[in-house]
Structure 1
Amino acid sequence: MTVYKTKVNNIGEEAELFQEEKMVILFGENAPAELAEYCYNIQVNPIEGHIAVGQHVYFGDVPFEITAVGDVVEKNLQDLGHITIKFNGESIAELGGTLYVEDKEMPEVNIGTKISIQ
């Protein structure tokens, strides 16, 4: 079951800097200007259900298993389209707005890339 789906509308000039830290920052259409340049801008859509460990985040057709879910991920994604996805396989969510996924090669993210949580 698909819990969330969106697509990348724009990429901030500095968004790729966070790849070295194995993270992607998503933010909806209303990202503050001072943050937008560091984010992958997405369309804000409703969440249908709950995001849980064991589900997968898909970037296009490439799945990443969710290993931990911060306590405000659902609220932030629903309200702002704003979460950080960290590709380090952590099983404890240290940051409330971060979704942690398995530690493997990060996906290529471009304008038009579809992102879903299933």
Structure 2
Amino acid sequence: MKPLFHSTIVDIGELVPAFLQENTLILFNHDVPEELRDMAVLHTRSEQAEEVLPGDFLMIGDCLYRVTSVGEKANETLKTLGHCTIKADGRPTPQLPGTIHVEERAIPSLESGTVVAFVREKGSGGNL
């Protein structure tokens, strides 16, 4: 697998468990403004090597989720703020500009030290 974005969880906001029940994960770099900390999974900064595309994978710890659609602003905010909203609902078209949709499955429990990454199969163009 070729890494596109690689980070490690450093803190988990108080509201994250409620979002996880809706199969939603909100990512931000660890230096996010205070008013956004409660709702976000905070992670180390990552240099984004390439844009995330449908057909790539989200990796949370040992779990892989195929990316089904990517909002038009998601790669930009991921690169600049470490931010995107991930929805594990399998939508083939993005719901919002900053959302990355992945296959529909429960998101595992999270803890500090867990790796969150976007990866691509070697030799794949990232397409479904």
Structure 1 length normalisation: TM-score?
0.95
| Aligned 1:71-110 pairs, distance under 5 A | 71-110=72-111
Q: Does 1:63 align with 2:64?
A: yes
Q: Residue in 2 aligned with 1:51?
A: 52
1:107, CA displacement in angstroms? 1.7
> What is the RMSD of the two structures over their aligned residues, measured on CA atoms?
1.0
Rounded to whole Å, the distance in 2 between the matches of 1:83 and 1:105 is: 18
Asked if the contact 1:3–1:47 (Cα under 8 Å) also holds between the matched residues in 2, the reply is yes
1:72, CA displacement in angstroms? 1.1
1:74, CA displacement in angstroms? 1.1
What is the percentage of aligned positions where both structures have the same residue? Answer: 28
1:3, CA displacement in angstroms? 0.6
SS at structure 1 position matched to 2:3: coil
Rounded to whole Å, the distance in 2 between the matches of 1:96 and 1:29 is: 22
- Which ranges of 4 or more aligned residues in structure 1 deviate by more than 4 Å? none
Structure 2 length normalisation: TM-score?
0.88
Deviations, residues 1-60 of structure 1 (Å, cap 9, x unaligned): 111100100011121111222101111122121111111001121110121101100001
Question: Which runs of no fewer than 5 residues in structure 1 stay unpaired?
Answer: none
Question: Which runs of no fewer than 5 residues in structure 2 stay unpaired?
Answer: 120-128
Rounded to whole Å, the distance in 1 between the matches of 2:95 and 2:15 is: 24
